[in-house]
Amino acid sequence: MTELTQKVALITGSSRGIGAAIAKCFARHGAKVALHGRDVAALSAVRSEIEAAHGQVMQVAAPLTTFEDLEGLRRQVEERLGPIDILVANAGKSYTRPNLALEDITEDGWRASIEGNLSATFLTLKSVLPGMKQRRAGSIITISSAAARRPHPASPLPYAVAKAAIELLTQDVAAQAGPYNIRVNCIAPETILTENNQRDIPAAQQVMLLESHPLKRLGTPDDVANAALFLASDQASWISGVILDVAGGSVLVR
């Protein structure tokens, strides 16, 4: 389990859910992990778990609102762990309810969804990519959603639009960064049973959701983490610009 030995990995939005699972997976496989989030207690819990398994880890609580925020985050990581080899731009969430008609979406909800997902990803890449180019090495993973892969009334529209834009951003940056030996890929999960989803999605609805997946189960954070591990590792050394659906086959269903 040494695929990422001594690699420095920054995972934004890693205080819980998918981001935390990726961080713990990377640490198990030898990476020096930088946790990021805004909930200090949740970050500390993830950090303690990694340290208990003898992983190398640090945590940074910071917003991702401005480029200065990201530059501060990057500098803290590099001062403690060294140059960033692997970036997972995971931070993001939905800021509006599903099943809203376009005219019922508030301007604040729209802007929050774009800023909290697309702009946060853009600023994260803008901060970390120059150093990778200078070193001529790196692996970047962005996180989209199955909501970006197929229109669905239950998907919050601003969130889906932001995630679709992240996919295009990923492929454009992959083309730009390829000559510098930097790989850039995207993971698009379907419904994942994070702590929040297990709490918020009623059991009956979970049964209905899993029936829409050919594999007849919902995803777990570890499903996404294992995909991220592959894309971050040298086993994926000739893979770039890919949108990887971690979706139980549901994107095949219309």
The residues assigned a catalytic role are: 159
Which residue's structure tokens are 């996180």?
143
Helix 157-177 with 120-135: angle, nearest 10 deg: 10
Residues in the chain: 254
Planar angle of CA 55, 60, 62, nearest 5 degrees? 155
Which residue's structure tokens are 């697309």?
118
Q: Which of 2, 25, 164 lies closest to 11, judged by CA?
A: 25
Q: Evaluate the CA torsion angle 38, 42, 47, 53 in order and state its sign.
A: negative
